[in-house]
């Protein structure tokens, strides 16, 4: 279940997504939280420079690999504005991190992008559980959907305007 504390971290992930959007990157943000509730690291999408692997969930998995003991990783939670893509889900699984809580699902994003007339992603939107079996995954969170959809609408419009 998504509780008050989860919502607080998800709202921070959405703030980071908005920062990314304002900087010309795709609107995604993520927060890594230890089992005792400490925020360990956070990041946002940085794909605007042309490297389309610069996803925040991937960055946090690598942060965990470099900075966390293997024994501490399963107790940590990654909060993220959008469900992990297969690349990031795989990185999360390889590093051995724990629960994922996302605000919007990959399925929602695919549907929204189709509504906006955006080009489809070159990578299939698989649910996290298909990439990392056995992981605790929670989302989507309906009360954050409108804000998230609006950020993605704006990003699609800006991409189209850039050509
Ligand atoms: Zn990703």
Task: Judge whether residue 163 has pLDDT over 80.
Answer: no
CA of 59 to the centre of ligand 1 (A): 9
Supply the pTM of this predicted model: 0.97
CA 108 / ligand 1 centre spacing (Å): 15
pLDDT digits (tens, 9 = 90+) for 95-132: 999 999 999 999 999 999 999 999 888 999 999 999 99
Find the DSSP H helices in 30-132.
Answer: 56-67, 86-95, 106-116, 128-131
Phi, psi of 66 (to 5 degrees): -85, -25
Name 147's Cβ contacts closer than 8 Å, sequence gap at least 6. 14
pLDDT at 105: 98
Which of 90, 77, 107 minimizes the C-alpha distance to 12? 77
Instruction: Using a CB cutoff of 5 Å, list residues around ligand 1, an ion.
Output: 55, 85, 87-88
100 forms bridges with which residues in the sheet? 78, 137
pLDDT of residue 162: 86
Strands (E), the chain: 29-33, 39-44, 77-82, 100-104, 137-138
Q: Measure the CA–CA gap between 129 and 135, rounded to whole angstroms.
A: 7
**Mind telling me the catalytic residues?**
57
Q: How far apart are CA 14 and CA 1, in angstroms?
A: 19
23-78 pLDDT tens trace = 999 999 999 999 999 999 999 999 999 999 999 999 999 999 999 999 999 999 99
Residue 134: band (very low, low, confident or very high) from pLDDT cuts 50, 70, 90: very high
């Amino acid at each position: 279940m998504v509780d008050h504390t989860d919502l607080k971290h998800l709202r921070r992930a959405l703030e980071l997504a908005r920062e990314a959007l304002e900087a010309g990157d795709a609107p995604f943000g993520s927060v890594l939280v230890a089992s005792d509730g400490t925020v360990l690291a956070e990041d946002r999408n940085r794909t605007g420079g042309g490297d389309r692997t610069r996803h925040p969930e991937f960055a946090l998995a690598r942060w965990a690999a470099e900075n966390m003991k293997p024994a501490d990783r399963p107790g940590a939670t990654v909060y993220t504005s959008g469900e992990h893509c297969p690349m990031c889900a795989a990185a999360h699984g390889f590093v051995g991190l724990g629960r994922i809580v996302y605000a919007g699902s990959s399925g929602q994003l695919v549907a929204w992008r189709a509504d906006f007339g955006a080009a489809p992603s070159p990578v299939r939107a698989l649910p996290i559980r298909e990439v990392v079996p056995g992981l605790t995954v929670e989302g989507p969170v309906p009360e954050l959907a409108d804000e998230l959809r609006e950020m993605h609408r704006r990003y699609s419009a800006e991409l189209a305007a850039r050509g």
